[in-house]
Structure 1
Amino acid sequence: MTARESHLVELVDAEGAALGSATVSDAHTAPGRLHRAFSVFLRDPEGRVLLQQRAAAKTRFPLRWANTCCGHPLPGEAVTVAAARRMVEEIGVADVPLTEVGVYAYYAEDPATGRVEYEYDHVLVGDLPIGVHPEPDPDEVADLRWVAVPMLLGEIESDSRPYAPWLLGVAQRLAASPLAAHPSRADGR
């Protein structure tokens, strides 16, 4: 986990144009620096999305429920390439095509750790193939659960405390996407 804090992230402006780079640690130190990120949702054949409870060792929002996986592309790296790498690292799933369904820019302070999230977050969705089962890394993920998007939105709106602060926004982007109506195929075909 500590080594990841020294990785570079791509700083961006409010429209997502690249401005340079900073370390993960610097970008997440108050007041934070706006940088590119991604949030992935994997769906099952019923259209439910896979949530992860972030591991206790996470430096930002530990033990909160979040989308399937998230992270940062390296400067100049394609978001889908970085997301595919993190899916393997966090939940042990490879080779799932991902499609972007929107962007959610947000700022959130973690009162427990003093760290911040200030992200231009690309929201991605992919369909978990039948017979593929996540094998989460316990250093990254404390627990997993499947939930229907409407139920998730209702849970967050009634009590947001158990959830990562970006989850409502990224789930709303997914729910508003035309791909939300096609749970069997992320490419909409």
Structure 2
Amino acid sequence: MRPVEALHAARELELVELVTPEGEAHGRATVDVAHRQPGALHRAFSVLLLTADGRTLLQRRAAGKTRFPLRWANSCCGHPAPGEPVALAAARRLAEELGISDVPLSEVGVYLYRAEDPGTDRVEHEYDHVLVGLVSAELAVAPDSAEVAELRWVAASALREEIVAAPDAYAPWLHGVLSVVLDLS
């Protein structure tokens, strides 16, 4: 097994926290099991890094991802381990995926969704904590190629139109995550 494949295989064995629709923990499962049909509702997080002028950093998910590969998504996302604080897990994944540390994150809401990936037959059924970090566009980013195929900055206000025009180019949760953030203003 190649190192990238080994990394993704190891991530599929990590534990996630199963939750009720109200976000109450009631068990655990591996990432693999939680994302198989019909999908088990579990805790997740999505991070949007925003600049003062309203741009957000998007990542195009790596080809080796087991769910929605090569689709544009929010800056970073993942799953806290059972009992792990969401902000701590999000900071860990920012460092792992993008090489970014010391970005203060604020939780701004939750997005509950279910989406089936027709390409991999996997399911995302997540109680998704949405976090925002305010950063400079000159932020030094060092993406892990096993996680991220590409990065780009885009005006958050234009992103909704892009998603509507080409929904299959984007992760299905991105529109909802963006709505949580933009509905705050």
TM band (smaller chain) = over 0.9
Cα deviation for residue 133 of structure 1 reads 1.3
Cα deviation for residue 47 of structure 1 reads 2.0
The residue identity in structure 2 corresponding to 1:73 is P
The yes-or-no answer on 1:105 pairing with 2:112 is yes
Cα deviation for residue 8 of structure 1 reads 0.4
Of residues 124-133 and 20-29 in structure 1, the stretch that sits farther from structure 2 once superposed is 124-133
Q: Give the match for residue 72 of structure 1.
A: 79
Q: Give the match for residue 45 of structure 1.
A: 52
Cα deviation for residue 131 of structure 1 reads 4.4
In 2, distance between residues paired with 1:97 and 1:69?
14
In 1, distance between residues paired with 2:165 and 2:33?
33
The root-mean-square deviation of aligned C-alpha atoms, in Å, is 1.0
Q: Give the match for residue 147 of structure 1.
A: 154
The residue identity in structure 2 corresponding to 1:145 is R
Tell me how many residue pairs correspond in the alignment. Answer: 178
In 2, distance between residues paired with 1:130 and 1:40?
16
The CA deviation string for residues 67-100 of structure 1, in whole angstroms up to 9 with x for no partner, is 0000000001110000000000111100101001
Cα deviation for residue 159 of structure 1 reads 2.1
Cα deviation for residue 45 of structure 1 reads 3.0
**Any idea what SS the aligned residue of 1:36 has?**
strand
Q: Give the match for residue 32 of structure 1.
A: 39
In 2, distance between residues paired with 1:66 and 1:59?
14
Report if aligned partners of 2:54, 2:157 keep a CA contact under 8 Å in 1.
no
**Any idea what SS the aligned residue of 1:2 has?**
helix
The CA deviation string for residues 94-113 of structure 1, in whole angstroms up to 9 with x for no partner, is 01010011110000011111
In 1, distance between residues paired with 2:52 and 2:105?
15
The residue identity in structure 1 corresponding to 2:15 is L
The yes-or-no answer on 1:90 pairing with 2:82 is no
**Any idea what SS the aligned residue of 1:161 has?**
helix
Q: Give the match for residue 57 of structure 1.
A: 64
State the TM-score, normalized to the length of structure 1: 0.92
**Alpha-carbon spacing, 1:55–1:102, altered in 2? closer, same or farther (3 Å):** same
Q: Give the match for residue 118 of structure 1.
A: 125
Q: Give the match for residue 182 of structure 1.
A: none
Q: Structure 1 stretches of 5 or more lacking a match?
A: 179-189
Q: Give the match for residue 4 of structure 1.
A: 11
State the TM-score, normalized to the length of structure 2: 0.93
